Amino acid sequence: MAHHGHEPTPGAAAESVAAGYELADIPSSRPIVLFVVAVFGLLVFAFLLGVVLVSIPGAQVRDTSHAVDVNSPQAPPGPRIEADPTVDGERIVREATERLESYGWVNQRQGIAHVPIERAMELLLEKGVRPFEE
């Protein structure tokens, strides 16, 4: 066989044979160690910077208008979570039913009233619907 200008590949290095594995396949650990040291150094720096910024004298929050006074009990703004939704649901349905089945004023000054829904449907059938006026 003719070799086309290539030298035969030598066998494993003596050091690799002695170690029992190919040493050339293992990257240098120096970049990994430097990266780990840099990350820990950055964490320590960030911690120390935070400590310094927090401990600066006179650097306090002066605007406390948004703070909640823990000594005064105050209900949070609505809507709040219902303790028993069925009770509130039943109340809402009952109030709506009462309004739909009763007479009352919507705006007494303007002469606007509400009538029971059954009566409103009868009036609608008797008088019809006026077309919208432009």
pLDDT in tens, 31-68: 889 999 999 999 999 999 998 888 887 666 566 667 76
Chain-centroid distance, C-alpha 23 = 51
Q: Which two tokens stand for residue 114?
A: 């509400």
Q: What is the pTM of this model?
A: 0.32
Q: What are the residue ranges spanned by the domains of the chain?
A: 14-54
Q: What is the DSSP string of 20-37?
A: TS-GGGSPPSHHHHHHHH
pLDDT level of residue 130 (50, 70, 90 thresholds): confident
For residues 76 and 85, give the distance between their C-alpha atoms in angstroms, rounded to a whole number: 18
Question: What is the percent of the chain where pLDDT is above 90?
Answer: 17
Question: According to the model, what pLDDT value does residue 59 have?
Answer: 64
**113: which DSSP letter?**
E
- Cβ contacts of residue 49 below 8 Å, gap of 6+? none
Mean pLDDT of 4-17: 67
H or E element that contains 114: strand 112-114
Confirm if 114 and 103 have CB atoms less than 8 A apart.
yes
Question: According to the model, what pLDDT value does residue 41 have?
Answer: 97
Q: Which two tokens stand for residue 9?
A: 């590949």
Backbone angles phi, psi at 44, to 5 degrees: -65, -45
